[in-house]
Amino acid sequence: MRHLLLIVLPLLVIFALLPGVYQNHLLLFNFVIFLVLAQGVNIIYGFTGYLPFGYVGFFGAGAYGFAITVMHYHASAPMAVLVAGAVGVALGLFLSPLLRLSGAYFAIANMAAALAVLHFVANPALEDITRGPYGVSLTGTFNPTLAYAAALIVLALTMGIVVFLKNSSFGLALQAVREDPVSASMAGVNVVRMRVIAWLASALVAGLAGGVYAWYVSVFFPDNVFSSDFSIFAIVFALFGGVATITGPIIGVVALYGVYNLIGFTTPQYFQLIYGLLIMVLVLFLPAGLVSLATRRGWRVP
């Protein structure tokens, strides 16, 4: 409850008010999307230890779930966002056997799965359904203001899930599974079920984010919404701030995506360098993220 009031509510209020004072609406929207994706990575990686290198698969599938629902069923945009979430969950269920793999094998298989979904969607043979490689144009639902509001709702839901994980014995049990699945089962925890639930929750928020993204941009190609940049950025932001916390991924997105946009726009040639160095320093000296600066001193970081 305290976490909702002190972290989630201020975050939502800030991002609800920012469009009134800052002109670059798309940039703010992207911040919200990355907050959702970084927290989605937090749910699956921070609480269970599975590194989802193909996380964008859910996002892209959600975007196309939105597009297909709007194009072929003429559904309203909010309805189509819910379908996008359902598509994310369905893909998560379909891919749940991947959870039998561990470590790098899972990461690679997940990345391959995301590529497979991309090529499935972009297949010219499916042009009648997905428009194949030619991309979709959804001018009928175009409404950035409403789409931004929907993104905030998805962010609220995502933050709600993370706050729940951080404060419940369910979240504790997930972390126990991450630390030692054998001991977790000897504590009475159904290891397989816990992993699948966390996996589906992270698939759900990425699917919803994809749907909202499709609503906002309205014109996109398969390569846009299945770009591996989404997976990598979300993972780096989450790791930079520190996973298995509520605040870590927020700090990561605000700091790194902020730096990315500051340096990236003015001096793109330095951006890669600084970003690369930053990640190296992080991995070498702060493997548990920025928040570990505080936890090392014995402070509890929410």
Partner 1 sequence: MSLSLTSLLHVTGLVKRFGGFHALDGLSFHAAAGEILGLVGPNGSGKTTSINVISGLYAPDGGNVTLDGVSIGGIASHKLVHLGVNRTFQIPKPFLSLTVRENIAVALAYGRAQVAPPTAEALMDEYRLTEVADRPASELNNAQQKMLDLVRALATRPRLLLLDELAAGLNPTELDWISARIKALAQTGMAIIVVEHLMGFIEQITDRVIVMNAGKEIFEGKLAVAVKVPQVIEVFLGGEHAA
**Closest-CA residue to 172 (of 244, 102, 235, 101):** 244
**182 scored as a contact of partner 1 (CB under 8 A):** yes
Question: Smaller CB distance to partner 1: residue 125 or 186?
Answer: 186
**184 scored as a contact of partner 1 (CB under 8 A):** yes
Strand partners, 220: 136
Whole-angstrom CA distances from 26 to 79, 145, 151, 230 are: 22, 10, 12, 16
Length of the chain: 302
Distance of closest approach, residue 47 Cβ to partner 1, in angstroms: 12
Q: Which residues 6+ apart lie within 8 Å of 27 measured at CB? A: 261
**183 scored as a contact of partner 1 (CB under 8 A):** yes
Q: What is the DSSP letter of 290?
A: T
> Which phi and psi (to 5°) does residue 267 adopt?
-135, 75
Question: Smaller CB distance to partner 1: residue 33 or 163?
Answer: 163
Q: Which of 139, 169, 266, 269 binds partner 1 (CB under 8 A)?
A: 169
If 0-12 CB within 10 Å is exposed, 13-18 middle and 19+ buried, where does residue 95 land? buried
Q: Taking the CA atoms of 76, 81, 86 and 87 in sequence, report the sign of the dihedral they define.
A: positive
Query: Is residue 199 a contact partner of residue 44, using CB atoms and an 8 Å limit?
Result: yes
Kindly state the number of chain residues that form the binding site for partner 1, as judged by CB under 8 A: 17
Tokens 């966390």 appear where? 198
Distance of closest approach, residue 170 Cβ to partner 1, in angstroms: 8
**51 scored as a contact of partner 1 (CB under 8 A):** no
H or E element that contains 220 = strand 219-220
**107 scored as a contact of partner 1 (CB under 8 A):** no
Q: Which of 20, 97, 188, 268 binds partner 1 (CB under 8 A)?
A: 188
Question: Smaller CB distance to partner 1: residue 49 or 211?
Answer: 49
- Interaction residues for partner 1, span 205-264 (CB under 8 A): none
**165 scored as a contact of partner 1 (CB under 8 A):** no
Distance of closest approach, residue 63 Cβ to partner 1, in angstroms: 35
**186 scored as a contact of partner 1 (CB under 8 A):** yes
Binding mask 111-150 for partner 1 (x = CB under 8 A): ----------------------------------------
- Which long-range contacts (C-beta less than 8 Å, at least 24 apart) are formed by 16-25? 16/152, 19/148, 25/144, 25/148
**173 scored as a contact of partner 1 (CB under 8 A):** yes
**102 scored as a contact of partner 1 (CB under 8 A):** no
Question: Smaller CB distance to partner 1: residue 149 or 172?
Answer: 172
Q: Taking the CA atoms of 183, 245, 258 and 13 in sequence, report the sign of the dihedral they define.
A: positive
Residues that bind partner 1 (CB under 8 A): 169, 172-173, 175-176, 179-180, 182-191
